[in-house]
Amino acid sequence: MRNERERKSGPVVQVQSVDRALEILDILARRGAAGVTEIAAELDVHKSTAFRLVGALENRQLVEQVSERGKYRLGFGIVRLAGATTAALDLPRESQPVCRDLAVDFDATVNVAVLDSGQATNIAQEYGDSAVAARNWIGQRTPLHATSSGKILLAWAGEDDLAAGLDVLERFTPDTITSRSRLLTELDEVRDRGWASTSEELEIGLNAVAAPIRGADGEVVAAVSVSGPVYRLTVAAYPDIAEKLRVGALEISARIGYYGD
């Protein structure tokens, strides 16, 4: 009977522990720093319970001990989590001026795209002077395997996202890659050189090059791409275009909290 009660109460106890842990974060946010005794008093729990909860938060770097003995404050883990959220919210705004400069430099269309339910969704766009009649891609979802941005997102995707991206390799033009093995080989090359490209793989007459944008934790969170007609965006020019694009991508990354090379 006792085991049955413990089994049923297990999830309740776990939820209560999570709730109390969140309360501790609120306490530290309000006070700036607090000791285990103070935390236990606010939570109305035994000191050992407060100590256990604080220890779990400390293991996740959500709280840290300050120099004053026994006091705790919010840790760097909170900054990391907040930075990830801020980066996602700020990405369109922070990428816009960089995209504008790139569009002027390339005199072409520049987009920023993120991974969205197995496709790439464009969240920012700027036009060059020669792209007056260019399509508005903002909000448009495009296939991962047939776009330069999509290849970037696939190249650094987790296992589940990669598997989903390889499930349906629809053909859009004669040059669309529809072979899983060929696409995987190209994704390896993308990671090695740090940029991706498509040559008339989504639309006849349209070429594109893309580079990865990284968040504060160094993970690839988006891709910035330049696209244009084949007679202006030639395959021979891809390496030079990619180098300028990578510089732009690094600038965007820095604007959302990434400080790597």
Structural domain includes residue 6: yes
Q: Do residues 120 and 66 share a domain?
A: no
Q: Do residues 131 and 52 share a domain?
A: no
Backbone angles phi, psi at 216, to 5 degrees: -60, -30
Q: The domain that contains 32 carries what CATH number?
A: 1.10.10.10
pLDDT of residue 81: 66
Q: Do residues 70 and 88 share a domain?
A: no
Q: Do residues 97 and 66 share a domain?
A: no
State how far the Cα of 53 lies from the Cα of 51, in Å rounded to an integer.
6
Query: Minimal CA–CA distance to 232: which of 124, 98, 130?
Result: 130
Question: Which of 34, 50, 74 is the endpoint of a domain?
Answer: 74
Beta bridge partner(s), residue 126: 110
Q: Do residues 116 and 234 share a domain?
A: yes
pLDDT of residue 7: 46
pLDDT of residue 14: 72
Residue ranges of the chain whose pLDDT lies below 70: 1-13, 67-69, 79-89, 130-135, 261
Domain of 55 in residue numbering reads as 2-74
Domain count of the chain?
2
Structural domain includes residue 261: no
Q: Do residues 116 and 179 share a domain?
A: yes
Distance between alpha carbon 134 and the CA centroid of its chain, in Å? 27
Question: Which of 41, 74, 107 is the endpoint of a domain?
Answer: 74
Structural domain includes residue 116: yes
Q: Do residues 23 and 119 share a domain?
A: no
Q: Do residues 157 and 66 share a domain?
A: no
Structural domain includes residue 203: yes
Side-chain-facing half-sphere of 26: CA atoms under 13 Å: 8
Structural domain includes residue 260: no
Q: Do residues 38 and 17 share a domain?
A: yes
Q: Do residues 25 and 104 share a domain?
A: no
